[in-house]
Amino acid sequence: MPATVVNLTVHGIGRPERPLDPGENEKWVTVEQFEQLLDAAAGIDNVHLTFDDGNASDVEIALPRLLERRLKAEFFPVAGEIGARGRIDRAGVRELVAAGMSVGSHGWSHRDLRRLDDKHLSQELTDASKYLSELTRRPVKRVALPFGSYDRRVLDRLRKAGATRVYTGDGGTARAFTWLQPRTSVPHDLDRRWIDDTFAGAPGLYRQATRAAARLVRLARI
């Protein structure tokens, strides 16, 4: 196992089957872009693929292409959206597990956890993981934070809820066995240069500055 990893987040692939939220189109890629990403990741042991939101493309497009290349990935559906239009359904979640993929939680309704009271935070953290555990018949202890958003209170609740790993949206490389791990979202303008820079842990100057600024903001909350 490598000492450091690059965690990538794919949100949607191909033509969306549902109306997208404002700005969400900035994180969707074409099938061709996705295949280019997978071809580059095949055989590289420090690139880890994750999928957020539970879009239908996770099963319809991503899964067969992952299997063709013998790649594994983690999928983080929004528990309360399973079966909705354009989203993965219950059978799809089970298909991911049967194919050897991992399933974690992306909350119940994709809300900013920092802004929730204790009751709704419990639903997002506890109820979502419980539902997914019952669905997959496996413990669901890994969490991908909606919007990558967190503060000290959210992290404390995650620890108390028994989360074994928490993924943020801070970008950059991660130490392989740390509890809190940054991820980098795959952008809609993905190209070979982005892939090479990101896999090497050396994003372009603009992305690097943006990532550093975002990380400072998040650290100030902890």
**Vertex 77, ends 76 and 82: CA angle to 5°?**
165
The one-letter code for the residue type at 32 is: E
Yes or no: say if 143 and 167 are a contact pair by the CB < 8 Å rule: yes
CATH code for position 137: 3.20.20.370
The one-letter code for the residue type at 29 is: V
Look at residues 190, 153, 199, 213 and name the one whose alpha carbon lies nearest to residue 11. 190
User: Would you state the pLDDT for residue 218?
Assistant: 52
Distance of alpha carbon 42 from alpha carbon 153, whole angstroms: 38
H-state helical runs in the chain: 31-41, 57, 63-68, 90-98, 118-122, 128-136, 152-160, 192-199, 205-221
Task: Concatenate the DSSP letters of all residues of 45-58 into one string.
Answer: TTEEEEEEETBTHI
Distance of alpha carbon 82 from alpha carbon 55, whole angstroms: 9
Q: How far is CA 5 from the centre of its chain?
A: 14
Distance of alpha carbon 30 from alpha carbon 35, whole angstroms: 9
Q: Which domain holds residue 49?
A: 4-221
- 144 beta partners: 167
User: Would you state the pLDDT for residue 205?
Assistant: 43
Distance of alpha carbon 87 from alpha carbon 104, whole angstroms: 15
- 61 beta partners: none
> Can you give the pLDDT of all 222 residues of the chain as single tens digits?
789 999 999 999 999 999 999 999 999 999 999 999 999 999 899 999 999 999 999 999 999 999 999 999 999 999 999 999 999 999 999 999 999 999 999 999 999 999 999 999 999 999 999 999 999 999 999 999 999 999 999 999 999 999 999 999 999 999 999 999 999 999 999 999 999 999 998 755 435 544 554 555 555 555
Number of structural domains in the chain: 1
Other CB atoms closer than 10 Å to residue 187's CB: what's the count?
Answer: 16
Q: pTM for the complete prediction?
A: 0.91
User: Would you state the pLDDT for residue 39?
Assistant: 98
